[in-house]
Structure 1
């Protein structure tokens, strides 16, 4: 059984900052993985999508099916994961619940006030304008988490709060049904 710490929140909410801090402090080896890592590593032909050679809407479903299946494969092989992800599509939660069923999943909500999300989205420049607001309004609705963090709080404090709760091994989220 692998351990998965699933950081969930709106685009630009601070998941990556928390993930880096967590990976630096946690007592076991954990992979830090996200879509952004794949994009930034050149796995996706982003220039060709941007130029219009390919249509992202046509490739999106297969890409995320492969991404989700690969996460389960990493965990099934015994790798612990810090996952940064946004459940923004119907059916993804249920698919990941099935794929992650054999594993210990600690589901973490990462919250951020809307004005700060919009500011971060604008500064990044790699997100469609308005995606942070859309995520803010939808991604946490109806979700049950093991812990809630606010990315406005000190990163080191958030990491310590997360680690303390994770070490208690009490799970009550959407992944501990």
Structure 2
């Protein structure tokens, strides 16, 4: 099976975005990248820090409301349509709902070949990266480090605690292309 979609799930600051950029460089075919952070950035201001939208508490706790879920479902359907139209797709997501989040993606991606990748990172390492980034409230990475993996099943798991994004991407690429790189 050569996947049409690769879904990477991991907590904040776990290294998913870096792996996605490296995958785009090392995979032999072009792959489009879709990230939950980009989706959140596209939301109107009225849905930020809102009960209907997305709220991020000072301690890093994330909550989402009904309107966020509705728009997120439309986004997932659009990502799936892009893959069904013939593009290879990389998804960078944070499964705040663990297995429930994966189930929503499974429904959207039904009929497509998907490679599910868990991106792990020790909570202390992710928290240090979070501080360096400066664009997330302290505590988010630590809260999400294990939460996002609860009940989720993967085809492949990588750990960025001591492994660079490029090496993780090469591991994933070997799973996609086989050992000969084709």
Q: How does 1:148-167 map to 2 (within 5 A)?
A: 148-151=157-160, 152-167=162-177
Match for residue 75 of structure 1?
A: 83
Q: Alpha-carbon deviation of 1:154?
A: 2.4
Match for residue 24 of structure 1?
A: 25
TM-score by length of 2: 0.79
Match for residue 44 of structure 1?
A: 43
Count of aligned pairs between the two proteins: 166
* Structure 2 residues not aligned, in runs of 5+: 55-64
Residues 1:150 and 1:103: Cα distance change in structure 2 (over 3 Å): same
Q: Alpha-carbon deviation of 1:55?
A: 5.1
More divergent stretch after superposition (106-115 vs 88-97): 88-97
Match for residue 62 of structure 1?
A: 70
Distance in 2 between residues matched to 1:125 and 1:60, nearest whole Å = 24
Alignment counterpart, residue 122 of structure 2, candidates 90, 99, 113: 113
Note the aligned Cα RMSD (angstroms).
2.6
Q: Is contact 2:10-2:148 (8 Å) kept?
A: yes
Q: Alpha-carbon deviation of 1:35?
A: 2.0
Q: Alpha-carbon deviation of 1:107?
A: 0.8
The C-alpha deviation readout for 1:23-74, integer Å capped at 9, x for no partner, is 011111110110222345xx2234x55587x853353212211221111111
Q: Alpha-carbon deviation of 1:8?
A: 0.9
Q: Is contact 1:33-1:84 (8 Å) kept?
A: yes
Q: Alpha-carbon deviation of 1:122?
A: 2.5
Distance in 2 between residues matched to 1:2 and 1:109, nearest whole Å = 16
Distance in 2 between residues matched to 1:22 and 1:102, nearest whole Å = 23
Secondary structure of the corresponding residue to residue 91 of structure 1: helix
Q: Is 2:153 the partner of 1:144?
A: yes
Distance in 2 between residues matched to 1:51 and 1:138, nearest whole Å = 21
